[in-house]
Amino acid sequence: MICVNLRASILCLRGALFLSVCAFAQDGAATTNNWPHYGGTQFAWRYSALDQINASNVKRLAPAWQFQTGDYEMGLQSTPIVVDGVLYLVTSRNQLFALDAATGKLIWNYKYPLPRGPVSYGPQNRGVAVGDGKVFMGTYDNYLVAVDTKTGREAWKVNIDDTKQCGCNVTAAPLIAKDKVIVGGSGGDSAHRGYLTAFDMKTGRLAWRFYAIPGPGEKGNETWKGDSWKFGGGAPWMTGSFDPKLNLVYWGMGNAASDLYSGDRDPGTTAGGVNLYTASVVALDADTGKLRWHHQEVPKDVWDFDSAYECVLVDREVRGKMRKLLVHVNKGGFVFVLDRETGEFIKAYPMVELYNWITGITEDGKLVGRKDPVVGAATMICPGATGGKSWNQTAFSPRTGWIYSPAQEACNDLIARKDEPNEGRSFIGGNWISKMPPGKISSGHIDAYDPVTGRRQWTYQYKYWLMASLLTTAGDLVFSGDPEGFFFALDARTGQKLWEFQTGAGNRGSSVTYSVNGRQFIANPSGWGSLAGGMGGFFPEFESRGGSVLTVFALPENSK
Amino acid sequence: MRAALLMLVAAGLASAQGVQELVTQGAEVYAKSCATGYCHGVKGAVGGAPRLASRGFDETYIMTVTRMGVKGTAMQAFGTILPRRDLMAVVAYVATLNGIATPNLGRGMPAAEAPRRLLPADAAKGRELFFEAVRGFARCSTCHALDGLGIAITTPIANIPASVAALRELATPAVKTATGQGESFPALVLTQGARETKVYDLTLPPPVMRVFPPGALKIADGSAWKHSSVIASYRDAELASILSFLKAVAVPAP
């Protein structure tokens, strides 16, 4: 491949026959020495421009240091954040560590006082955000805490909602957009009305709140039957993205509740969506939280097919015109491509083999051939409750121009039942039973796609589900880990496995890469956790091993 | 037999048919509260949470865990969530998943429930308003804990204002004015020590607990902060109901 820099874009000549324009070199979309945000940068590419470790030398990659958190509950699901040689790591029970990113030496730790009594969605934490000299951490009893990066002491702390009442808490990493820190919450399977809340980074004061469900008098409230909007779910339980130039924050909203039964929330009309803005991607003004546009991927969701996952912001050519896009995997196993300036639907394509909840999606984004669960009888639905992809994230490489996604093939029998909302309590409206269609076996895979056309470039096949995030680098590598404990590197162009290392426990977190004093490191959390037990229904022979360890790799010092 | 009898007495049931009814009811409760794929799964066989079937659990253990929950996990204390009969029923059902055909709930039984405090209609309405989620941060429970819910920013409500007007114009001498680091804001002081100054910043709801280096904040009596402004979303009639609720449940000052 020959690449030529042409102002902001890179023209790539692939052989003699293929001519394709790579992504604009989007300013600041790749990480370099730091890993400053949950998704790498606010564009959520999970791509680093570092290439010291690359496809030709990755075989020599070896552990440089390890850090045992000592907090094994629910494994280690988080994304480390690295700023100027300091690595910030959080465990599922809000134990926060600042480590020397080159050596692993502990700089400080902050132990959040464990709440008394049980908590709604269990202790799970997927990461922190760092900015304005503070580490921002959502807690499992629903506070947002700012900790001084230098001292490890609290700077401010604010309650987001009473966890005992709302049945919600924070499991996601917050997102920083300019002077604000924005945090989503869990609660989408409870009788709860989800929201995003933005706080001023400096003072902790409320900046804005965006409800996933519009209130009376607001546009979209008419897409709810009666009072069902009050407890209709929509909790945005993962982390969004931010485009500084457009000043828009993008976030995926959770499923409608009760999850599997829509009889009490469906107003009977379908024009313009049902149960807005659940199972939707929204674009909000970063300063005010006001809705700029939305796209509802799943109107009247009855499968728990959230839109909560990451929004990957890429600039790509569509039908001869460069567009600012948002690429988003829905839990139902479809990738949605939207114009992120306008919300215009561009394309959707499946990323799993097994899907039957719809037969397809039209060119203007309408779902076709819905298969809704019924009350009191089992309906086989694919993908299953864990989704075609779980919350572990995709990665995008501007070098290949491809998006890399983990996937799992699984189905469930769904049984709907009428459910009454009881504020903050479970509000599922039915159940899932692990079950595969006759002759099919459950499995996992990682695939490379052209994000716009959906054309699959390669597939890495695996016998269990793959539930760790992907990481891709300018070294033309894709990193991830598997439930058996192996952390591995694939060739970003072919999918061929080039290297692996046994970390000692299953992988359910998000690896990152960074550089300190010219040496590139790859840091990988392992320890399983978070719905990992759901795999047992499909793989009775699989035995998970819990843990909570960060393993950091580099090339040996004498062989860089 | 004796075990079964104990159970029947405990459950207030009259016959062996009652056991079966209890287990059947327990299966219903289980299906609704415990069986999702995220939790224990159908028949406790497999799910995101630990398996419950064929684990050798006895009734006492099942009752204890179901009532008390498991600290630090998603397993809630169902003793505070389920009505007593539902609680017993689901324990009986889970016992059958562990090979106990005739569950004995005589051990580990919760004491008979205290009769649920029956609030007069107006106070019950007041309770709803006090915690009303659709108000977001503009509700009483953003700063006050009462009746097991809410965020305790300030001391427990003890002196109940005599009227709606008095509730609006409540004197709040504890709210001071904090000045320092280029800003000035209404504050409730938590600690003022040699190590740090810790205050609640009341600029706007929700209150923010903020920490400053010693000496960085100057605290002065008095403040422009008004109770009336943070409860502005309530109409007079609503505040009257809230007062009824407070009278019914707040512990009066000694």
Strands, sheet with A129-131, edge to edge from the N-terminal-most edge strand: A129-131, A134-138, A143-148, A154-159, B208-212, B197-201, B183-192, B175-180, B218-220
Helices B84-97 & B2-11 angle (0-180, nearest 10): 150
- Please give the pLDDT value at position B2: 38
Read off the pLDDT of each residue in A149-165 and give the average, rounded to a whole number.
96
- Cβ pair A431:B35 closer than 8 A: yes
- Contact check, Cβ <8 Å, B46/A537: yes
Distance between CA B52 and CA B55 in Å, rounded? Answer: 6
Say how far apart CA A336 and CA B12 lie, in whole Å: 57
Q: Does A205 touch chain B (CB under 8 A)?
A: yes
Inter-chain touch B134–A215, beta carbons under 8 Å: yes
Measured between alpha carbons, how far is residue A37 from residues A43, A137, A329, B60 in Å? 9, 13, 20, 48
Cβ atoms of residues A76 and A550 within 8 Å: yes
Q: Would you say how long chain B is, in residues?
A: 254
Summarised one tens digit per residue, pLDDT across range A451-477 is 999 999 999 999 999 999 999 999 999
DSSP A532: G
- Lowest-confidence segment of A76-80, B25-29, B82-86 by average pLDDT: B82-86
Query: Model confidence at A198, in pLDDT bands (50, 70, 90)?
Result: very high
Q: Please give the structure tokens belonging to residue A275.
A: 């149960």
Give the one of B50, B72, B204 whose C-beta lies nearest to A73's C-beta: B72
User: Cα torsion for B117, B123, B125, B126, to the nearest 10°?
Assistant: -120
CA A375 to CA A377: how far, in whole Å?
A: 6
What separation in angstroms does the CA of B120 have from each of A178, A239, B141, B209, B240? 50, 44, 20, 36, 13
Average pLDDT rounded to a whole number, residues A369-394: 95
Report the 10 Å Cβ neighbour count for A215: 13
CB-nearest partner of B210 from A117, A204, A434? A204
The confidence score (pLDDT) of residue A533 equals 55
Mean pLDDT value across residues A226-251: 97
User: Of these residues, A161, A304, A306, A447, which one is catalytic?
Assistant: A304
The model's pTM is 0.88
Work out the mean pLDDT of chain B and round it to a whole number: 83
Which has the minimum average pLDDT: A100-104, A173-177, A292-296, B1-5? B1-5
Q: So what's the pLDDT on residue B64?
A: 80
Q: Does B154 touch chain A (CB under 8 A)?
A: no
Q: Is A71 a catalytic site residue?
A: no
pLDDT of residue A279: 98
Q: Which of A166, A193, A204 sits opposite B208 (nearest CB)?
A: A204
- What residues form DSSP beta bridges with A360? A368
Residue B100: what pLDDT?
Answer: 81
Please give the pLDDT value at position B135.
Answer: 96
- Predicted confidence (pLDDT) per residue in A480-531, tens digit: 999 999 999 999 999 999 999 999 999 999 999 999 999 999 999 999 876 5
Q: What is the average per-residue pLDDT within A422-427?
A: 90
d(CA A147, CA A153): 5
% of chain A with per-residue pLDDT over 70: 93
> What pLDDT score was predicted for residue A554?
98
